[in-house]
């Protein structure tokens, strides 16, 4: 019976194909294609397997993925963190199975996950915007501050349909961009334009957007600091460009020397690489330095002379912990030097993830784009339009960060106390961890002037370096992995950020809550002493 069905099926297929071919003579030369699916010499119809019909080079495998993706790496969520997550699951199942009782994540700037409380005013406004039905209820007056209610009304009036679930303009809601521009102007003392603001889902999409715009091939390069935040190396790799490193001077507190920029620029030119832009992270990540105003002026002049786009990562602008340093935006520096709107292409990035607000999961931020011609601006807008718009909660939060409560507002005293409490605690934590690292044998750690990180240098014994080589991992990764396995402390190897060859570092955040810091110092100190004793040359 099955054979009869098969034979009739063959005949139907043959009849259909021959009829179709008679009306399409061009198929005559392709009859081999039909015969590969149907053979008259057998009594059954045979269809090839995918292995038989496809070239192996077309099958999905690592070898057939986009090589730019394979080249891309992102250390702050790398192998050490993956291992930490496995150990955390192990602790849940068997709390006594490891020599520690909790995982202490010091690997990423994620304040909320480590217990930092949100700013009350920000959350009140977000809640009211997301659920506007309660704005008219009498109970709301007793639960929310008057200025939170007023701000929510103002924001909702600017949103299409008064709904945070709606799409917005691709650059972001105009009224919110106007609020941000006013905040920038108040910060810098120079005019800012809402049309220069592109609201983004955090700073990272803005960085990707600019890399996509600037990088045409591997012959285009971006000058990046080393050590650098791996967003930049990853983004450059994904968009097919070349990272041109310039080394920060650890001996001078991670100084940025113009002579180093010139050296690397000339070196790249000799290799046929056209440098399109300079990335500056201020305050520094992972290095924690805050640039001096005079140094910033030199950087602006360098970019102007060399025709480079200045990409200013300023997401830690509120995180400055030493009295002899102050944050100045690069736009402020450029304007103070007399450079106007069309004199210098400059992109400044800000995020709601950092500062004292720490709202990483809200994915809010912006880039201020100045000094670009109208036709280039159109291309930036086109790229932004492909993503429709950034999320509205993040847009609202970005406007609140740049326009917080003012003196006389009902929320001002609470807001000021929360801000001061968080930043002063961060300063104390930074100093405690800095002192702890400097007390360890063979470890030196520069002052944490700003941002959220320390980047201590660890002079590892040759015996430890050889042990790491035997396991085919970087020596600082070897140190960090053992630190995790013995203490539960998660840090990122310096090799994930780049460093001077032959030097080894780790990046450690200052974000665990203050009552956790003494325990971290105690575990770290005991581990390091044991490690050095084991591998002492």
Q: Write out pLDDT tens, residues 41-89.
A: 334 444 444 444 455 566 887 777 777 676 656 655 578 888 888 888 8
DSSP H/E element including 279 = strand 274-281
Query: In a 3-state reduction of DSSP, which class is residue 447?
Result: coil
pLDDT at 351: 92
Helix axis angle, 517-535 relative to 475-487, nearest 10°? 120
> Is residue 272 within 8 Å of 483, Cβ to Cβ?
no
Domains of the chain: 2-71 (no CATH), 76-102+417-535 (3.90.1150.10), 120-157+407-416 (1.10.287.1970), 169-401 (3.40.640.10)
Whether residue 537 has pLDDT greater than 80: no
pLDDT at 5: 40
pLDDT at 40: 36
Whether residue 234 has pLDDT greater than 80: yes
**Nearest C-alpha neighbor of 354 from the set 231, 449, 451:** 451
Mean pLDDT calculated for residue range 379-395: 85
Q: Write out pLDDT tens, residues 179-204.
A: 999 999 999 999 999 999 999 988 88
Residue matched to tokens 């080249």: 71
pLDDT at 76: 55
- pTM metric for this prediction: 0.82
pLDDT at 168: 74
Separation CA 506–CA 442 (nearest Å): 13
> Is residue 291 within 8 Å of 252, Cβ to Cβ?
no
Mean pLDDT calculated for residue range 115-131: 90
pLDDT above 90 coverage of the chain, percent: 54
pLDDT at 74: 62
Q: Write out pLDDT tens, residues 264-305.
A: 999 999 999 999 999 999 999 999 999 999 999 999 999 999
DSSP 109-157: --GGGGTPPPPHHHHHHHHHHH-GGGTTSHHHHHHS-HHHHHHHHHHHH
pLDDT at 309: 94
Q: Which of 65-69, 225-229, 249-253, 447-451 has the lowest mean pLDDT?
A: 65-69
pLDDT at 38: 31
Separation CA 330–CA 281 (nearest Å): 11
Mean pLDDT calculated for residue range 236-253: 91
Whether residue 9 has pLDDT greater than 80: no
Whether residue 478 has pLDDT greater than 80: yes
Mean pLDDT calculated for residue range 115-125: 90
Say which residue, 42 or 347, is predicted with more confidence. 347
pLDDT at 73: 66
Average pLDDT, the chain: 85
DSSP 311-339: EEE-TTTT-B--TT-----HHHHHHHTT-
pLDDT at 56: 58
Q: Which of 17-31, 95-109, 251-265, 300-314 has the lowest mean pLDDT?
A: 17-31
Say which residue, 322 or 141, is predicted with more confidence. 322
């Amino acid at each position: 019976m099955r054979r009869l069905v098969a034979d009739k099926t063959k005949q139907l297929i043959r009849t259909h194909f021959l009829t179709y071919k008679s009306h399409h003579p061009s198929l005559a030369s392709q009859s081999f294609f039909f015969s590969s699916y149907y053979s008259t010499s057998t009594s059954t119809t045979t269809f090839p397997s995918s292995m038989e019909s496809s070239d192996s080079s077309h099958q999905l495998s690592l070898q057939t993925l986009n090589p730019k993706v394979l080249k891309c790496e992102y250390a702050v969520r790398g192998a050490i963190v993956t291992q930490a997550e496995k150990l955390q699951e192990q602790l849940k199942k068997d709390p006594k199975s490891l020599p520690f009782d909790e995982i202490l994540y010091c690997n990423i700037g994620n304040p909320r996950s480590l217990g930092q409380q949100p700013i009350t005013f920000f959350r009140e406004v977000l809640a009211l915007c997301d659920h506007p039905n309660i704005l008219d209820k009498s109970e709301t007056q007793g639960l929310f501050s008057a200025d939170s209610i007023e701000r929510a009304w103002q924001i909702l009036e600017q949103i299409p349909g008064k709904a945070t679930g709606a799409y917005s303009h691709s650059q972001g809601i105009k009224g919110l961009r106007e609020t941000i521009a006013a905040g920038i102007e108040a910060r810098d003392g120079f005019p800012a334009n809402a049309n220069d603001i592109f609201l983004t889902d955090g700073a990272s999409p803005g960085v990707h957007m600019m890399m996509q715009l600037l990088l045409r091939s591997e012959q285009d390069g971006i000058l990046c600091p080393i050590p650098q935040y791996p967003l930049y190396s990853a983004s450059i790799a994904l968009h097919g460009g070349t990272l041109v490193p310039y080394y920060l001077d650890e001996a001078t507190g991670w100084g940025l020397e113009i002579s180093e920029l010139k050296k690397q620029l000339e070196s790249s030119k000799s290799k046929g690489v056209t440098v399109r832009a300079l990335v500056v992270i201020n305050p520094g990540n992972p290095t924690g330095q805050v640039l001096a105003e005079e140094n910033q002026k030199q950087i602006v002049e360098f970019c102007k002379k060399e025709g480079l786009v200045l990409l200013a990562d300023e997401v830690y602008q509120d995180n400055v912990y030493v009295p002899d340093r102050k944050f100045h935006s690069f736009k402020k520096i450029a304007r103070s030097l007399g450079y106007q709107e069309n004199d210098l292409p400059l992109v400044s990035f800000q995020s709601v993830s950092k500062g004292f607000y720490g709202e990483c999961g809200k994915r809010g931020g912006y880039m201020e784009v100045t000094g670009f011609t109208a036709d280039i601006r159109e291309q930036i807008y086109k790229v932004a339009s492909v993503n429709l718009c950034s999320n509205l909660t993040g847009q609202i939060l970005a406007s609140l960060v740049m326009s917080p409560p003012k003196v006389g507002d009902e929320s001002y005293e609470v807001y000021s106390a929360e801000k001061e409490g968080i930043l002063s605690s961060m300063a104390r934590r930074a100093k405690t961890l800095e002192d702890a690292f400097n007390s360890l044998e063979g470890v030196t750690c520069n002052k944490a002037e700003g941002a959220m990180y320390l980047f201590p240098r660890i002079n590892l014994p040759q015996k430890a370096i050889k042990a790491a080589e035997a396991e085919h991992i970087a020596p600082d990764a070897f140190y960090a992995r053992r630190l995790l396995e013995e203490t539960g402390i998660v840090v990122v190897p310096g090799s994930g950020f780049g460093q001077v060859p032959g030097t080894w570092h780790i990046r450690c955040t200052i974000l665990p809550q203050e009552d956790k810091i003494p325990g971290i110092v105690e575990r770290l100190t005991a581990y390091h002493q044991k490690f050095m004793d084991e591998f002492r040359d």
